[in-house]
Amino acid sequence: MDVAKNPLDKGKSKEELLAERQQRINDALQLEKPDRVPLFMPAGYLLAEYGGVTHAEQHHNFDTAQELLEAFALDFEPDSVLGLFNNPGPSLVLGDRMTRWPGKQLPENGSFQFDEHEFMKAEDYDDFLADPSDWAIRTYLPRAFEKLEGFKILPPFIMWSFGHYHLGNLPMYAAPPVRESLEALGEAIQVALQDAANMGESTERMAELGFPPTFLAGALIEAPFDFMSDTLRGMRGIMLDIMRRPEKLLAAEEKALKYELEFAISFCQATGLKRAFIPLHRGSDGFMSLKQFERFYWPQLKEMMVTLVEHDIMPICFYEGVWDQRLEYLADLPKGKTAGWFQRSDIFKVKDVVGDTMCIIGGMRNSLLTNGTVEKVRARTKELCERVGEGGGFIMSTGVGEMEGSDLELVRAWADATREFGTY
């Protein structure tokens, strides 16, 4: 029996398909011309819709989610496919106050969302800058995680850790609120371990079916500005910092950059993964002026990317929103060493400006797969293959990393058209 149904891949073995798909993606990422345009489907909750289960079920039942991922991959035959980005496990165990999950804070069919807060106040900058880790343990964790509130009664971390004279302070860790928080932390670690094991199993099972591991696998880090914005200051707080305390914000970003690089480099060394996925949030057109971007966002992000490249790690950025006014900055990056997934930028302009610099991921509008027609989807796919795919360095994908609500007939038309028009 044939593994693949589409005419181009009919008759190939799983091993051949795996090798070809892997090669196709790698070629595109290296800015080379593969045999055809690789197709990436970040299916997300579309898998639940495909299998008739709830979003909550997809999040909480690994076996069901994995079976749906396999069935979907075999049905639509993309070169790379992804289920859900986020696992609720550790967040729910720790009671984090920054995420909302289907079946918990949301209805069974709700969609995962971030709920931004100003967990770090403006007046916390000095403590953060003096010692970010101690501030994190005793101030941030109790604010951001319900189950880690016990840590707020701890003495400064250095007051037991620097040896013999201070070991008498250890009983503080036996105080009931601290003990409960430590137990919750232990439980979260177990849950995260299980998630990691599931991810490993999923990767193996997909490989057995001829699908390569996701090319986004690697260290997950943030632009230093977003690091301070997303889970610490929140959008409102960080925008006021630009105006009211620019020097402190810059100093904090410097700390974030140092720790993130240290983490990403050692993570990649330890795992052998050679990529870093960096979802970008507040640097797009509209949030800040180019002048502010040049001071608070780009230099730190660029230094991060250039340093990663020097360590043989490929940064893959998700350029959320529109970046049309700042594509020229991206053109400065080392050629063929980074990749960009563009959500809503003018994808043809992206090709013109950074086509020689980085592999471009994206192009298909999510709304077209929701309520377009087969003709419109085919026409858009053809245009993308011909113009953005020209010369290689293009991975076809939706702009948003989530395909919930897509019409399956249109998804099929998209996959078929990518193979039809994307062959070089």
Partner 1 sequence: MSDQLIKYIANMQEEEALALTKEMLESGVAPMEILDDCRAAMDIVGNRFENQEYFIPELILAGEILKSITAVVRPHIEGEEEVGEAIPVVVGTVAGDIHDIGKDVVVFMLDINGFEVHDLGVDVPPQVFVDKISETEASVVALSGFLTLSFDAMKETVEAIEAAGLREGVKIMVGGGAVDEGVSDYAAADAYGEDAMAAVSLAKKWTGGNGRG
Residue 335 DSSP SS3: coil
Nearest residue (CB) to partner 1, 130 versus 243: 243
Contact call for residue 111 and partner 1 (CB under 8 A)? yes
x-or-dash pattern for partner 1, window 181-200, by CB under 8 A?
--------------------
Contact call for residue 372 and partner 1 (CB under 8 A)? yes
Nearest residue (CB) to partner 1, 56 versus 242: 242
Contact call for residue 368 and partner 1 (CB under 8 A)? yes
Q: How far apart (Å, rounded) are the C-alpha atoms in residues 60 and 94?
A: 16
* DSSP output for 3-17: S--STTTTT--HHHH
Q: Among residue numbers 231 through 290, which ones bind partner 1 (CB under 8 A)?
A: 235-236, 239-240, 242-244, 286-289
Q: Which amino acid is at 24?
A: R
Specify whether the CB–CB gap between 316 and 276 falls below 8 A: yes
C-alpha 328: how far from chain center: 23
The single residue among 365, 393, 410, 416 that binds partner 1, judged by CB under 8 A, is: 365
Contact call for residue 371 and partner 1 (CB under 8 A)? yes
Residue 85, phi then psi, degrees to nearest 5:
-75, -35
Q: Would you tell me the crossing angle of helices 246-271 and 234-244 to the nearest 10 degrees? A: 130
Nearest residue (CB) to partner 1, 85 versus 267: 85
At its nearest, how many Å lie between partner 1 and the CB of residue 342?
13
x-or-dash pattern for partner 1, window 27-66, by CB under 8 A?
----------------------------------------
Nearest residue (CB) to partner 1, 66 versus 292: 292
Nearest residue (CB) to partner 1, 33 versus 100: 100
Contact call for residue 100 and partner 1 (CB under 8 A)? yes
Specify whether the CB–CB gap between 68 and 51 falls below 8 A: yes
- Dihedral sign for Cα atoms in the order 388, 392, 398, 399: negative
Specify whether the CB–CB gap between 120 and 130 falls below 8 A: no
Give buried/exposed letters for 155-173 (b at 16+ CB in 10 A, else e): eebeebeeeeeeeeeeeee
Span from 89-97, 106-114, 124-132, 202-210 in contact with partner 1 (CB under 8 A): 106-114
Contact call for residue 115 and partner 1 (CB under 8 A)? yes
The single residue among 221, 403, 415, 417 that binds partner 1, judged by CB under 8 A, is: 403
Nearest residue (CB) to partner 1, 295 versus 302: 295
Find, among 246, 260, 362, 359, the residue nearest to 301 by Cα. Answer: 260
Nearest residue (CB) to partner 1, 142 versus 279: 279
Contact call for residue 110 and partner 1 (CB under 8 A)? yes
Contact call for residue 370 and partner 1 (CB under 8 A)? yes
Q: How far apart (Å, rounded) are the C-alpha atoms in residues 28 and 22?
A: 10
Span from 139-147, 256-264, 309-317, 399-407 in contact with partner 1 (CB under 8 A): 399-407
Contact call for residue 113 and partner 1 (CB under 8 A)? yes
The residues, ordered by sequence, that sit 6+ positions from 360 with a Cβ below 8 Å of its Cβ are: 339, 340, 342, 347, 350, 351, 354, 388, 393, 394, 395
Find, among 84, 9, 3, the residue nearest to 39 by Cα. Answer: 9
By CB under 8 A, the count of residues binding partner 1 is 34
Give the number of residues written for the chain: 424
The single residue among 367, 390, 409, 424 that binds partner 1, judged by CB under 8 A, is: 367
Partners of 40 in beta bridges = 80
Residues that bind partner 1 (CB under 8 A): 100, 106, 110-111, 113, 115, 235-236, 239-240, 242-244, 286-289, 292, 321, 343-344, 365-368, 370-372, 399-400, 402-405
